[in-house]
Chain A
Amino acid sequence: GAGVSQSPSNKVTEKGKDVELRCDPISGHTALYWYRQSLGQGLEFLIYFQGNSAPDKSGLPSDRFSAERTGGSVSTLTIQRTQQEDSAVYLCASSLGRPETQYFGPGTRLLVL
């Protein structure tokens, strides 16, 4: 079956612009996670959804970052007024529940010039 998909695969933007990153989880997976991975670094947790609710937003690095999930499926991560330090790979993962195994999407590579 289809895995986790993310779009766009690559995004180049100018400093100060807003960007939206999309994640389509595996069908039926109720939990959805966003992570950020900078070059040569580990995975940094950003936010977790159970259904459409986000009980844990503790990893969002600033109020420029927000995320939503609709219909218990697709999620969008929005970064407002992007900064160069936002450049990273943004990974989405989904799971049947918690703490079930998380399956990762291919990621969105964001470059802020």
Chain B
Amino acid sequence: QKEVEQNSGPLSVPEGAIASLNCTYSDRGSQSFFWYRQYSGKSPELIMSIYSNGDKEDGRFTAQLNKASQYVSLLIRDSQPSDSATYLCAANYGGSQGNLIFGKGTKLSVKP
């Protein structure tokens, strides 16, 4: 069973803090990993993609990948109330041409 696991939350952080979102995946063949943000009632939008071990930074967002531990994370620095949303982790399976499988998402709440 190919799975992507996320803590459903809610994860609550104060404004200005670092929010840390975690994800594990079961398929060692996965090569591509994505974080999507989904506001309530809206469709998912891409935040970050990562393909290599290590960190990838884009503005206030940092994605981290550890293939040995089959672990992906997303850090949001200087969290803002507008970051409050559900964050979906996705990993491809079935090799380089495989489909994406999504986690159920972690709900983040940033309190002013």
Contact = CB atoms under 8 A, between A and B. Distances in A.
B105 A42 contact: yes
B73 interface: no
Contacts of A41: 104
A91 interface: yes
Nearest to A4: B43
A1 to B, nearest CB: 16
B32 A99 contact: yes
Interface residues of B, number: 23
A106 B98 CA distance: 24
A105 B42 CA distance: 9
A99 B42 contact: no
Given A104-B43, A106-B43, A42 B88 contact: yes
B79 interface: no
Nearest to A95: B100
A98 B43 contact: no
Interface in B87-109: 88, 90, 92, 96-105
Given A41-B104, A99-B32, A104 B45 contact: yes
A43 B42 CA distance: 13
Given A43-B44, A105-B43, A56 B99 contact: yes
- With a 10 A CB-CB cut-off, give which of A43, A91, A99 has the most chain B CB atoms: A99
A102 B100 contact: yes
- With a 10 A CB-CB cut-off, give which of B43, B99, B101 has the most chain A CB atoms: B43
B31 interface: yes
A89 B46 CA distance: 18
Interface of B: 31-32, 34, 36, 42-46, 49, 88, 90, 92, 96-105
Given A35-B102, A104-B44, 20 more contacts: A41-B104, A42-B103, A42-B104, A43-B44, A43-B90, A45-B100, A45-B101, A45-B102, A48-B99, A91-B44, A98-B98, A99-B32, A99-B98, A101-B46, A101-B49, A102-B34, A104-B36, A104-B45, A106-B43, A107-B43
Interface of A: 33, 35, 41-43, 45, 48, 56, 91, 98-99, 101-107
